[in-house]
Structure 1
Amino acid sequence: METLPLELVQRIFAYLNLASVRDAALSCRTFFDAFKSAEVLITSEILLRQIDPSVLPEAILVQKSWQLGKPSAGQATKFAQDHLSSRLPAPTQWRLVDALVLERFHRYVH
């Protein structure tokens, strides 16, 4: 594996799901280095392929609402004011740690 060109390893990663990319990157130094040198590019490509960009803003809001735990009425109102009053576009660039949460949510919904 050490003899494969870096770009080839990175393209292979792009055909996996995010959990598999994480596992592969942690399996050996060569894969880790290949992934880390293009993490945002690889992660963003996979996430945007797995989750339709038209529903991604809503998926992000659900993920943010999970972080509230069991909110009080005031927290819920503030969340609604901060996040539901306008529909912000989803980011186009993702790090693996952030995208894995959305991938897990997507799996549950699917």
Structure 2
Amino acid sequence: LELFTTQRGAQVLPEPVAQAFWLSLRDQTHEFFQPEASPSMLSLWRFSLPGSTPALASLQDEPRGCVLEWATGLRWVWSAKPAAQMQQLAQDHGGHATLYRPAQLVTDPTLAPRFAPL
């Protein structure tokens, strides 16, 4: 715990605050999951990656950053990058990316291909 608080900037939250935070992530009511007020070209992507995958600068550098869950195995990011680029990034790290909330209505089935288990 000390490593995460001193070297990674993590915070230890009081239990009621931590529970409310976790529920906001689980239920996607946290402000991160809310679309921008103005029309946006950002889509919400869900990355499922091995827990040992290091921080990915290309996700962290997105305008809204990246939310990590499940010991970094699940990552959420809003991005305008093409689907092929997002899926390739996930595959390069042994995982997969799913277009969770498109910026526009999408009817292309290749945006959410079938994937192998991790």
Interval containing the TM-score (normalised by the shorter chain)? under 0.3
- Rg larger for: 1
Compare relative contact order (CA 8 Å, sep 6+) and give the higher one, 1 or 2: 1
Q: Per residue, is there more helix in 1 or in 2?
A: 1
Report the TM-score when normalising by structure 2.
0.24
